């Protein structure tokens, strides 16, 4: 595709520069969320709100807890009959230990064309790019087709209780008319070997099921016969869960991903053929198999054990924790399987639970996202994928909003997006931000 066919739209040099400055500035505002309630997103929220106001919008600052600030603003579209689109990004970040980093994680340093710091890909980059696009529209007098609601949230990296959970519970009116949303964890370049560039667009999330197992038995002396030993019962249940091979359950998103990625490898995949073996197919897909493998089945991994206090005392109770994940549609099977694997005498309950999500990959919006990245990176291929973890999209799904992971970044070979996510030396190339601004502008105006 010739360079000249790439539309420039209202994106000017200032928008490109602002995406970089805003990313760097937001990184410098330390919004570490350790999950202990000490995080304060307010300075970052004020930074964003000031710049939205500069674009002629009327941002609202909303808090459930003082200092845990969310920002919401609406941009009026030109087609009042169209459904609104939510664009959301969180303002908090996970902790970073400066001792482990090459540069200070909260310096926002720009070195050799790369912006460094915690939040560079998760997700102050997206926060900044959206801000830059909205401001470019204001300068050029551009309005999108659909109403666009922009939301900058607190507390995504913990429970979302002060962020998207609070917004969905207490301020649903701000999202009126929104049917779809875009946010983090999608549309980054995935280098799949042999020069193949993929852009995985998230159309689903596995659900989270953190479990607590408890075995109750009869306490007693360690030298006595004891058929009601809580430690033995718990250990047997944990061993069964750890060894269990979950059956393959292919959701529509994962099916589409398998077929499309296989086709790019010149393999015709018939997922419904008798004897079809997903693991065998994954083995032929090279690095791209990593995009699909974690989401073809449920999983449940034992992670913590706790029982007893003295070698010659049989305790009356033993507990364990399991990190379980459920594919969309796999919740019932998850419950039944856990009931069966734990067996009598061992009780299980949810410590923390988040529903799985599924978004259609045959919607016009999904098609437009694919077209937008492929337009600005000719020769690349957008493919659907299901996220193995969760995002704010789960909270907004309660308002009937279908969530996609779409925060475009064009990354060079050697930039492993998924390793940088929550990783040491998180960073983003300036060119990647420029690409993201162009794609977002094009997609959001025409979505």
Q: Which is nearer to Zn ion, 147 or 184 (CB)?
A: 184
| 18, 41, 147, 156: the active-site residue | 156
268 exposed, middle or buried (CB, 10 Å; 0-12, 13-18, 19+)?
exposed
| 18, 92, 162, 441: the active-site residue | 92
- Please tell me the distance from the alpha carbon of residue 42 to that of residue 27, in angstroms, as a whole number: 14
Q: Is residue 362 flagged as an active site residue? A: no
Examine residue 92 and tell whether it contacts Zn ion (CB under 5 A): no
Interface segment toward Zn ion; rule CB under 5 A; list 182-190, 274-282, 292-300, 337-345: 182-190
Q: Which two tokens stand for residue 10?
A: 């209202």
Q: Which is nearer to Zn ion, 22 or 348 (CB)?
A: 22
CB 237, min distance to Zn ion, A: 34
Q: Which two tokens stand for residue 124?
A: 């102050």
Q: Which is nearer to Zn ion, 19 or 337 (CB)?
A: 19
Q: Which is nearer to Zn ion, 281 or 387 (CB)?
A: 387
Q: Which is nearer to Zn ion, 262 or 420 (CB)?
A: 420
Q: What x-and-dash track marks residues 294-333 binding Zn ion by CB under 5 A?
A: ----------------------------------------
Residue from 338, 342, 409 nearest 19 by CA: 409
CB 203, min distance to Zn ion, A: 17
Q: How many residues bind Zn ion (CB under 5 A)?
A: 3
- Please tell me the distance from the alpha carbon of residue 324 to that of residue 338, in angstroms, as a whole number: 10
Interface segment toward Zn ion; rule CB under 5 A; list 177-185, 275-283, 305-313, 400-408: 177-185
Q: Which is nearer to Zn ion, 124 or 191 (CB)?
A: 124
CB 92, min distance to Zn ion, A: 9
Q: Which is nearer to Zn ion, 157 or 180 (CB)?
A: 157
Q: Which is nearer to Zn ion, 92 or 147 (CB)?
A: 92
Q: What x-and-dash track marks residues 56-85 binding Zn ion by CB under 5 A?
A: ------------------------------
CB 184, min distance to Zn ion, A: 5
- Please tell me the distance from the alpha carbon of residue 49 to that of residue 221, in angstroms, as a whole number: 65
Interface segment toward Zn ion; rule CB under 5 A; list 7-15, 181-189, 256-264, 340-348: 181-189
Applying the rule CB under 5 A, the residues between 105 and 164 that interact with Zn ion are 122-123
Determine phi and psi for 192, rounding to 5 degrees: -100, 20
First to last CA, the chain: 22
Applying the rule CB under 5 A, the residues between 183 and 202 that interact with Zn ion are 184
Interface segment toward Zn ion; rule CB under 5 A; list 130-138, 178-186, 243-251, 259-267: 178-186
Chain position whose Cβ is nearest to Zn ion: 122
Q: Is residue 339 flagged as an active site residue? A: no
3-class secondary structure per residue, the chain: CCHHHCCCCCCCHHHHHHHHHHHHHHHHCCCECCCCCCCCCHHHHHHHHHHHHCCCCCCEEEECCCCCEEEEEEECCCCCCCCEEEEEEECCECCCCHHHCCCCCCCCCEECCEEECCCCCCCHHHHHHHHHHHHHHHHHCCCCCCCEEEEEECCCCCCCCCCHHHHHHHCHHHHCCEEEEEECCCCECEECCCCCEEEEEEEEECEEEEEEEEEECCCEECCCCCCCCHHHHHHHHHHHHHHCCCCCCCCHHHHHHHHHHHHHCCCCCCCCCCCCCHHHHHCCCHHHHHHHHHHCCCEEEEEEEEECCCCCEECCEEEEEEEEEECCCCHHHHHHHHHHHHCCCEEEEEEEEECCEECCCCCHHHHHHHHHHHHHCCCCEEEEEEECCCCCHHHHHCCCCEEEECCCECCCCCCCHHHHCCCCCCEEEHHHHHHHHHHHHHHHHHC
Q: Which is nearer to Zn ion, 44 or 233 (CB)?
A: 44
Applying the rule CB under 5 A, the residues between 209 and 228 that interact with Zn ion are none
Contacts to Zn ion by CB under 5 A: 122-123, 184
Residues classed as catalytic = 92, 156
């Amino acid at each position: 595709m010739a360079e000249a066919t790439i539309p420039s739209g209202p994106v000017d040099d200032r928008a490109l520069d602002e995406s970089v400055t805003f990313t760097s500035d937001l990184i410098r505002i330390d919004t570490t969320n350790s999950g202990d309630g000490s995080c304060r997103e307010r300075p970052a929220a004020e930074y964003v709100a000031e710049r939205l106001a500069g674009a002629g919008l009327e941002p609202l600052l909303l808090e459930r807890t003082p200092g845990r600030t969310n920002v919401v603003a609406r941009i009026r579209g030109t087609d009042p009959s169209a459904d609104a689109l939510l664009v959301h990004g969180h303002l908090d970040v996970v902790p970073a230990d400066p001792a482990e980093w090459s540069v200070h994680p909260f310096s926002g340093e720009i070195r050799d064309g790369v912006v460094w710091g915690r939040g560079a890909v998760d997700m102050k980059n997206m926060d900044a790019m959206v801000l830059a696009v909205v401001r470019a529209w204001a300068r050029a007098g551009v309005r999108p087709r659909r109403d666009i609601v922009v939301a900058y949230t607190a507390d995504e990296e913990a429970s979302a209780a002060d962020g998207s959970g609070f917004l969905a519970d207490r301020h649903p009116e701000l999202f009126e008319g929104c049917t779809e949303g875009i946010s983090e964890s999608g549309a980054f370049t995935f280098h799949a070997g042999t020069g193949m560039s993929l852009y995985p667009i998230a159309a689903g999330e596995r659900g989270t099921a953190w479990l607590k197992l408890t075995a109750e038995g009869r306490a007693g002396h360690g030298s006595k016969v004891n058929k009601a030993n809580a430690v033995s019962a718990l250990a047997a249940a944990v061993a069964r869960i750890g060894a269990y091979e979950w059956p393959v359950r292919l959701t529509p998103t994962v099916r589409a991903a398998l077929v499309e990625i296989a086709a790019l490898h010149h393999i015709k995949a018939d997922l419904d053929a008798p004897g079809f073996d997903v693991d065998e197919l994954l083995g032929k897909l090279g690095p791209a198999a990593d995009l699909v493998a974690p989401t073809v089945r449920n999983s449940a991994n034992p992670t913590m054990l706790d029982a007893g206090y003295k070698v010659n005392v049989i305790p009356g109770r033993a507990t364990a924790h399991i990190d379980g994940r459920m594919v969309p549609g796999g919740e019932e099977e998850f419950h039944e399987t856990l009931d069966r694997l734990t067996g009598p005498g061992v009780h299980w309950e949810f410590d923390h639970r988040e529903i799985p999500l599924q978004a259609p990959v045959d919607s016009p919006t999904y098609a437009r996202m694919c077209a937008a990245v492929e337009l600005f990176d000719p020769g690349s291929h957008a493919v659907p994928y299901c996220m193995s973890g969760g995002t704010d999209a789960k909270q907004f799904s309660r308002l009937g909003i279908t969530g996609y992971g779409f925060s475009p970044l064009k990354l060079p070979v050697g930039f492993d997006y998924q390793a940088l996510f929550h990783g040491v030396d998180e960073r983003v190339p300036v060119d990647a931000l420029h690409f993201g601004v162009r794609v977002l502008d094009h997609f959001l105006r025409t979505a």
